[in-house]
Amino acid sequence: MSTGYTDKEAVAGLDAELPMIDCWPNQFRGYEIEIEIPEFTSVCPKTGLPDFGTIIIRYEPDEFCLELKSLKQYILAYRNLGIFYENVVNRILQDVVRACKPVRCEVVGRFTPRGGISSRIRATYMKSSSGS
């Protein structure tokens, strides 16, 4: 099967060092938080051109809530990072889950059109019943 990208491009940005996402102690249980970030931008690892999109993070907090100022710093760090759409969404999910250990979490990325084609990526996490 031919593939349009090199192996290096396929994993670009996945192990880049990014700022920590801080948290604060959650005071309630059993509710949902949704955060929308319409000003996401990163760089295409193939063309070097910027990509633009909206990131939505939806989660049920357990002991911790995401602190929005550090989340903003974390998102800003993608600005000059070369990384594919699919990897952006999955890496944000991983980093959010590590930071606040939620009961469940969903990350959606809606990206603006390129060549008449637009993309939407959705990834989800569910804490296993035996703990995380």
Q: Which residues bind a second copy (CB under 8 A)?
A: 1-5, 7, 9-11, 14, 20, 22-28, 30-39, 41, 49-50, 52, 61, 64-65, 67-72, 76, 79-80, 86-87, 89-90, 99, 112-124
Longest dimension (CA), the chain: 51
**Which of 7, 15, 23, 44 is labelled catalytic?**
44
**In the bound complex, what is the minimum distance in angstroms from residue 12's beta carbon to a second copy?**
10
Residue closer to a second copy (CB basis): 65 or 96? 65
Nearer residue to a second copy within complex by CB, 25 or 129:
25
Active-site option among 15, 22, 23, 51: 51
Q: Is 44 annotated in the active site?
A: yes
Report, in Å, the least distance between residue 128 CB and a second copy: 13
Complete DSSP assignment for 55-102: EEEEEE-SSEEE-HHHHHHHHHTTTT-B--HHHHHHHHHHHHHHHH--
Q: Is 23 a known active-site residue?
A: no
Buried b (16+ CB within 10 A) or exposed e, 37-66: beebebbbbeeeeebebebbbbbbbeebbb
The least CB distance from residue 129 to a second copy, in Å, is: 17
Which run of H or E residues covers position 7?
A: helix 7-11
What are the residue numbers of the active site? Answer: 44, 51
